[in-house]
Each structure stands twice: as C-alpha cells, then as structure tokens.
C-alpha cells in the first residue's frame, strides 16, 4: 500500500512512476517472436538495430540524466541485451540505487552477470528462460541452459518464462519447468508471462483461447505447490481478461519506455508497434491490472483513482513547463 501511495504522489505531480530504458541496440541472440527487433517496434520508420546508441561515460551520463529528469520510483534496464554494456551498468546500477530507486535488469544471461550486482540494494535481476532446456536452447541459443546456470551462480534471480504455444502442447510441461527452477538455489522467484502478439500477427508462438484458459487454470493450482512461483491469484486472473486497449492498461499509463537512442518514446508500452492488448500476457500489465482492480473500503476502484490522478498530473506538469517547451508525451 505504501508503494501505491508513493506512486500516486508521483502521478499527481505529472511524473510516471516507472521508467524502462533500452540501453543498447545490440543483442547476440535472434529469438523468434522478439518484439524489440520487430519492424514496427519503434513506429515503423526505423528499427532498434538502426538507431544510434551510446557507450562508455556518454551512456552513463545520459541514462542518469534521464533518471534525474523523470524521477521514477522504478527503473527497468532492458535491451537488446543489457549485459553487452556490463561495464557501464557497473556504474549505472549503483547510481540508481544511491538515488533510493528500485531497479530491474532484464537479461538473457548470455554472459556472466557481474557478481557485485548481487549486493546492489533494491536491484532485481530477471533472467528470461522460455521453457525447458530443449525448447529454450532452440529459441535462445547462445543463451543456453548450460550458460545460464553458470552465469547466475551466486545471484538470486527472478526466472521469467514467456509461455508460447509450443510449451502448452504437452500436459505437465509448466509443472516440470517450475520443478526444475524451484530446485535451483540461485532462483529467488519465478514469474510467468504469456506471449503477446501484435495486432494481426500470425506466429506459432500465439496461444489459442483454449491454451490461455489451460495456462490460467494450471497457474492457479501450481502457485500453491511451488512457493517460488510468486504470482497472486488476482494477477493470474488478469490473464483471463486482459485490457482491451492501452487506455485501459495501468502499466502503459504509468511507465515511460525509452529506446536505445535515449530519445524515442516506445508506445503504447514496452512492446511498441500495435500490440494486441486483448491477448496481452505481460506480467507487469497483469500485476498493475490486479492493483487497479482492487476496491477500497467503500467500493472505489484503485484504478479509477489512478485514471483521475493521471489527468490531474498531466495538467499540472504542462502548467509548470516553460512556455514553448514541449513536454515528453505523458500518454501513448
């Protein structure tokens, strides 16, 4: 509740409480269905691989300048593969922690995660592991299971699995995945997202409605059996009834996403392009959707308070802007 009130205060002053930065355009992987390298991720005129990005002190200074301007409570460092810039992160991540902010590093663990990251306060390291070894290795080579297991040693990671249609073909697959990663001593917790397509996308990864129902039912049961699966019931329920548009998505409304040139805003959410909200399986959207659906004593929905506060905050920040200075787009 304390976090909600702090975030609410930020929103009322016209800031988005969460910031997501693609700190590099580079990635040694070529995962099928990767949204970051989709043609329309940045709106269609340029792709992530084509934007100018930064390195060294220039990158450190520019990222921290954005953090100081946006004043988020939570910063996600994504890519590309963020660990391509691990030397810069050795300065950026402690600097974010020193500002009292929470941070999340989202990586494939294709290279070793510097051990000192394990002791940075409020930093969560999230490793994308999409299924059991045969399916994961086929999709995410060279970030194979063998490499991941070596590179996470000494950390307490969040395992993040994006469920694709390939993973729901066999009964018990998700439970085997949870058994394997729950038994790993370097796993602190496990999150499960569902593949989110773009509008009109045709891909083998897309879950059919019946697949989604089965995954939701399985997660509802498995969360009791595997304590490391940190997914409350209210969050899982959101997968059965995703937002119908970005306007209904608390996550999209409260998160500023910036690409590797450190200028372009990725809209309407981190997926960019035209994501099919009606098939959304993003855990961040579901988690905030669950918060938004919560009713306070008296019956008022938390989401309704956020929506009203966003309007107040936008108006407030626009009034504070010096005339003629355009503010970053507060909404997609």
# residues contacting ligand SF4 (CB under 6 A): 26
In the complex, the smallest distance separating the C-beta of residue 199 from ligand SF4, rounded to whole angstroms, is 10
130 or 226: whose CB is closer to ligand SF4? 130
In the complex, the smallest distance separating the C-beta of residue 129 from ligand SF4, rounded to whole angstroms, is 11
Give yes or no for residue 196 binding ligand SF4 (CB under 6 A).
yes
9, 12, 13, 29: which one contacts ligand SF4 (CB under 6 A)?
29
272, 275, 292, 330: which one contacts ligand SF4 (CB under 6 A)?
275
Cα gap 175→180, rounded to integer Å: 9
Nearest to 23, CA basis, from 59, 74, 75: 59
In the complex, the smallest distance separating the C-beta of residue 122 from ligand SF4, rounded to whole angstroms, is 23
10 or 25: whose CB is closer to ligand SF4? 25
Site for ligand SF4 in 56-95 (CB under 6 A): 79-81
Q: What is the 3-state secondary structure (H, E, C) of the chain?
A: CHHHHHHHHHHHCCCCCEEEEECCCCCCCCCCCCCCCCCCCCCCCCCHHHCCCCCHHHHHHHHHHHHHHHCCCEEEEECCCHHHHHHHHHHHHHHHHHCCCEEEEEECCCCCCCHHHHHCCCEEEEEECCCCHHHHHHHHCCCCHHHHHHHCCCCCEEEEEEECHHHHCCCCHHHHHHHHHHCCCCEEEEEEEECCCECCCCCCCCCCHHHHHHHHHHHHHHHHHCCCECCCHHHHHHHHCCCCCHHHCHHHHHEEEECCCCCCECCCCCCCCCECHHHCCCHHHHHHHHHHHCECCCCCEHHHHHHHHHHHHHHHHHHHCCCCCCCCCCCC
155 or 160: whose CB is closer to ligand SF4? 160
17 or 79: whose CB is closer to ligand SF4? 79
Site for ligand SF4 in 106-165 (CB under 6 A): 108
Site for ligand SF4 in 206-265 (CB under 6 A): 242-243, 246, 249, 251-252
In the complex, the smallest distance separating the C-beta of residue 287 from ligand SF4, rounded to whole angstroms, is 11
160 or 226: whose CB is closer to ligand SF4? 160
27 or 42: whose CB is closer to ligand SF4? 27
127, 190, 277, 302: which one contacts ligand SF4 (CB under 6 A)?
277
Give yes or no for residue 268 binding ligand SF4 (CB under 6 A).
yes
Binding residues vs ligand SF4 (CB under 6 A):
27, 29-31, 34, 36-37, 79-81, 108, 196, 242-243, 246, 249, 251-252, 268-269, 271, 275, 277, 280, 282, 285
């Amino acid at each position: 509740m304390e976090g909600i009130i702090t975030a609410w205060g930020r929103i009322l002053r016209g800031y988005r409480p969460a910031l997501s930065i693609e700190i590099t355009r580079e990635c040694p992987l070529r995962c099928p269905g990767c949204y970051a390298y989709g043609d329309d991720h940045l709106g269609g005129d340029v792709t992530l691989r084509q934007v100018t990005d930064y390195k060294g002190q220039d990158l450190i200074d520019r990222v921290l300048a954005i953090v100081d301007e946006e004043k988020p409570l939570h910063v996600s460092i994504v890519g590309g593969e963020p660990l391509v810039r691990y030397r810069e992160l050795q300065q950026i991540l402690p600097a974010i922690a020193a500002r009292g902010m929470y941070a999340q590093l989202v990586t494939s663990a294709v290279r070793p995660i510097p051990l000192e990251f394990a002791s940075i306060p409020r930093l969560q390291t999230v490793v994308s592991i999409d299924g059991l070894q045969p399916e994961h290795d086929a999709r995410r080579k060279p970030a194979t299971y063998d490499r991941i297991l070596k590179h996470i040693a000494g950390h307490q990671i969040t395992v993040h699995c994006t469920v694709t249609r390939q993973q729901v073909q066999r009964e018990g697959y998700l439970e085997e995945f949870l058994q394997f990663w729950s038994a790993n001593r370097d796993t602190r917790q496990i999150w499960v997202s569902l593949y989110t397509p773009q509008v009109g996308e045709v891909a083998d990864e897309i879950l059919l409605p019946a697949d989604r129902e089965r995954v939701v039912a399985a997660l509802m049961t498995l969360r009791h059996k595997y304590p490391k699966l940190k997914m409350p019931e209210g969050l899982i329920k959101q997968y059965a009834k995703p937002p119908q548009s970005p306007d209904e998505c608390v996550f999209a409304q409260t998160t500023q996403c910036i690409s590797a040139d450190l200028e372009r805003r990725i809209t309407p959410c981190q997926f960019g392009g035209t994501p099919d909200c009606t098939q959304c399986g993003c855990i961040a959207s579901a988690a905030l959707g669950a918060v938004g659906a919560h009713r306070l004593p008296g019956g008022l929905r938390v989401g309704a308070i956020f929506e009203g506060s966003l309007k107040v905050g936008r108006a407030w920040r626009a009034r504070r802007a010096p005339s003629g200075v355009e503010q970053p787009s507060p909404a997609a």
